[in-house]
Amino acid sequence: MRYSARAEQQLGGTSGPPSGRDVLLHAHGIVKSYGRRRVLDGVDLVVRAGEVAAIVGSNGAGKSSMLKICAGLLAPDKGRVTISGRLGYCPQNAGVMGFLTPREHFTLFGTGRGMGGRDADRRGRELASKLDWSVARGTLAKDLSGGTRQKLNVVLSALGEPDVLLLDEPYQGFDRGSYVDFWQNVWGWRDQGKAIVVVTHMLNQLDQVDHVLDLSPRKQEAGR
Ligand SMILES: Nc1ncnc2c1ncn2[C@@H]1O[C@H](COP(=O)(O)OP(=O)(O)OP(=O)(O)O)[C@@H](O)[C@H]1O
């Protein structure tokens, strides 16, 4: 598998040289098999503060597995992940609770991360508005549209100011404007010094990210 770094020239103007920044995520030699099928075969990923990495590859290439391993939700067969600072994770399938309202989610998740309830609610609504979502008070999560439920998922991952954000195809169901807003948020988080990893099938942002980890099987062969 190939790990390509594109950072140096692109970051130079706005964010300074990445080599001088702290490494917030370091995954080294990750190996993962399901049964006899080896999905990840010695994958490395290093993301520094103020960098965005994209994980790309065909369906079933192992992108979500890699992200779950980075999040500590799945154990690798071999290899090691080190995260510095607080972690936010947005799963591919919305991990929200249908019987709670979005604002109850903000309070629940925010307080779980050490925020005050009011602060969590305010910050949740602020993050939502940056995704063009004005949060209605009474609607249960189960009654939100698919795209809005996914926005809730993104907001929850970003609550509590994580240093490392892992986002698994986070914009599914977003309309065009929200999709653009989403990437604006990502660039803003990068400017704040967060390390961000986005699993994506959308290739038009790849020239703006700092690293591309391509897990496609063909790349795996090419990388050997
Ligand atoms: N718990 C599991 N048990 C068995 N096989 C699994 C398990 N989780 C994932 N797989 C398989 O491992 C492979 C990689 O899955 P993964 O979800 O990481 O791929 P992906 O690149 O994220 O795919 P997609 O682009 O479709 O979301 C797939 O073939 C999948 O079926």
pLDDT tens digits along 109-136: 999 999 999 999 999 999 999 999 999 8
**Helices and strands in the chain: count of H runs, count of E runs:** 7, 9
167-224 pLDDT per residue, tens: 999 988 889 999 999 999 999 999 999 999 999 988 788 889 999 999 987 654 444 4
Asked whether the beta carbons of 25 and 85 are under 8 A apart, the reply is no
Residues 150 and 209 in one domain: no
Q: Is the pLDDT of residue 35 over 60?
A: yes
Give the number of the atom of ligand 1 that is nearest the alpha carbon of residue 62: 18
Tell me the best of 34, 36, 40, 56 to mutate to test the pocket of ligand 1, counting ligand atoms within 8 Å of each CB and taking the most.
34
Q: Are 30 and 81 in contact (CB under 8 A)?
A: yes
Ligand 1 centroid to 218 CA: how many Å? Answer: 17
Burial of 203 (0-12, 13-18, 19+ CB in 10 A): exposed
Please tell me whether residues 1 and 76 are part of one structural domain: yes
Asked which of 161, 183, 213 is the last residue of a domain, the reply is 161
Among protein residues, the one with the nearest Cα to ligand 1's atom 10 is 34
Residue of 63, 9, 59, 24 lying closest to 40 (CA atoms): 63
DSSP state of 35: T
Find the 116 Cα to ligand 1 centroid distance in Å: 37
Clarify whether residues 51 and 155 are in a common domain.
no
Residues with CB under 6 A from ligand 1: 34, 39, 57, 59-65
Give 2 or 26, the one with higher predicted confidence: 26
CA of 213 to the centre of ligand 1 (A): 16
Residues 167 and 80 placed together within one structural domain of the fold: yes
The pTM of the full predicted model, rounded to 2 decimals, is: 0.88
Residues 202 and 101 grouped into a single domain: no
Strands 78-83 and 23-34 come out as antiparallel
* Token pair for 53: 């990495």
Taking 80 as the threshold, does the pLDDT of residue 154 lie above it?
yes
Q: What is the pLDDT of residue 118?
A: 94
Strands 78-83 and 195-199: unpaired
Residue 20 alpha carbon to ligand 1 centre in Å: 35
Quote the mean pLDDT of the chain.
87
Q: What is the rounded CA–CA span in Å between residue 107 and residue 224?
A: 47
> Which CATH number characterizes residue 7's domain?
3.40.50.300
CA of 62 to the centre of ligand 1 (A): 6
pLDDT at 138 over 90: no
In eight-state DSSP terms, residue 32 is E
Specify the pLDDT at position 219: 59
Q: What is the number of structural domains in the chain?
A: 2
pLDDT at 148: 93
Helix H or strand E encompassing 168: strand 164-168
Could you tell me if residue 14 is inside a domain?
A: yes
What are the residues whose beta carbons fall under 8 Å from the beta carbon of 137, sequence distance 6 or more?
101, 103
Domain hosting 133: range is: 96-161
In a domain, 142, yes or no: yes
Give mean pLDDT, residues 8-34.
67
Three-state DSSP state, 144? coil
ipTM above threshold 0.90: yes
